[in-house]
Amino acid sequence: MLSAVAKMLLIIYLLITISALFSYLLYRTTTYWKRRGIPQDVPHPFYGNLTGFRKYRVLHDIIYDYYSKYHKTGHPFVGFNFIQRRSAFVMDIKLAKNVLIKDFTNFADRGQFHNVRDDPLTGHLFNLDGKRWKEMRQRLSPTFTSGKMKFMFPTVIKVSEEFMNVMFEQVPAKSDGGIVEIKEQMARFTTDVIGTCAFGIECNTLRTPETDFRNMAKKAITEMRHGPILTAFHFSFPNVARKLRMRMLPDDVHEFFMRLVNDTMAYREKEKVKRNDFMEMLIELKQKGTFTMDNGEVIKGLDLGELAAQVFVFYLAGFETSSSTMSYALYELAQHQDIQDKLREDINAVLEKHNGKMSYECIKDMRYLDQVISETLRLYTIVPFLERKALNDYVVPGHPNYVIEKGTQVIIPACAIHRDEDFYPDPETFDPERFSAEQVATRDSVEWLPFGDGPRNCVGLRFGQMQTRVGLAQLIKNFKFSVCDQTEIPLVYDPKPFVLGTIGGINVRVERV
């Protein structure tokens, strides 16, 4: 038996060994880029180069400031520590194109945390990597064709018409209209659209905002399962977190959406209910049993967890990004009456050409509306950066000393590229003419990245564009938006979310046209 003194000494030696190992690993992480001669701001021992994030600094500002500091120094990338994860922060648009398109096979993974076994809702297309991602992408791509969008279009129109009824009730007929908080209104609209198209349920949050469906969706975006230390561990060491069988989503969020998908699927299969929505397409994939890949390989059909995960991310990605885009567009249009008037004229002209009917083809013909949305997404990039992971060592073409080693995260700073005056002169100005056909033809596709680019771009971009176009077309056709005493200029952003969101609402004056 060891004496008490011996036990104490053993514990002390063990603690010293653990501390030494931890210090060594921390040193290697924080000096990784310096030792390779790659420029980098000195990282914080815990936060890396994200000091202040989720406390007092907005992630977009961190990314933009870092890009602004280094982007004219001639380096194709610089070092960056995303908490404890080493990252290559891309400075050169040619390298961005290589990563996203030309050399995609070496950067096909995102390297995000997902745990299909213990946290099945994290096993969605956005998170999956490798063979599982490729299989799921091939399965889902046919569900987002123009033809499939046409099938869902009447559902979007139906929700938008109810949206207009609610707006007319809120905006008095008197000449000066009324003050409306548009951020919440847009969120209710997209929640009802996605809820109907993804789950096939009538959410009716336009009239009853405090529903379990709406509350759980907000919680899934704003709340984490764990505190800051374990959350940081998820992001820094996703593979280790998965092997430890860690989970990310709160229990009540997981249980709510799994139950909702299970009950919806069981009801439809039992009652043989058919609907033109995303859920129906996934059920068909599940019922097929097998799926043939492009290379001829036959794989098994979707199980319940995989199906639920795809519906879950379709909902989260669809309602938040589209509602924010609509809110920021209206905020800018309220400040630029000339652009708003031109947009309204274009919408009415296109409607007249289509006999007043807002069809799928009619919405596609609203070119100036598309320019307004594109410029909004440039100026208010909802997701600040794109993320990829090197599958093998990668020597940057033309820069033999710049090597992105296997396993390194690659950050492409979309929000900073969108405000780079080399690509967009006077970048702080809202100007939809930047996205005229003539100007778009002069730019490379990777200079505009709200939906990503290359084989791993956003699979649901057609749907997101469709619901945003419908919502804005209906609003601008029927209402005039302008600033008021309660309009906050400039907006103040919330540092907590990963996506671009304001603190509080966005108030504007709304009048009937």
132-187: pLDDT as tens digits: 999 999 888 888 889 889 988 999 999 999 999 999 999 988 778 899 999 999 99
Domain ranges of the chain: 31-512
Weakest mean pLDDT among 16-25, 185-194, 234-243, 322-331: 16-25
Tell me: pLDDT of 349 over 70: yes
| b/e sequence 286-314, b meaning 16+ C-beta within 10 Å | beeeebeeeeeeeeeebeebbbbbbbbbb
pLDDT higher than threshold 80 for residue 412: yes
**Per residue in 13-41, pLDDT tens?**
778 777 777 776 777 788 999 999 999 99
Query: What is the C-alpha to C-alpha distance for residues 314 and 316, in angstroms, rounded to an integer?
Result: 6
Judged against a pLDDT cut of 70, whether residue 293 lies above it is answered with no
CB atoms within 10 A of CB 483: 15
**Cα 70 to chain centroid, rounded:** 25
Q: Residue 469: is its pLDDT beyond 60?
A: yes
pLDDT at position 420 over 80: yes
H/E segment holding residue 373: helix 367-379
- Burial label for 364, CB within 10 Å (0-12, 13-18, 19+), is middle
Local structure of residue 453 (DSSP, 8 states): -
- Across residues 385-392, what is the average pLDDT? 98
Q: What stretches of 56-185 adopt beta strand conformation (E)?
A: 77-82, 85-90, 178-181
CATH architecture, domain 31-512? Orthogonal Bundle (1.10)
pLDDT in tens, 65-119: 999 999 999 999 999 999 989 999 999 999 999 999 999 999 999 999 999 999 9
Is 458 marked as a binding-site residue?
yes
488 exposure class (CB count in 10 Å sphere: 0-12, 13-18, 19+) = middle
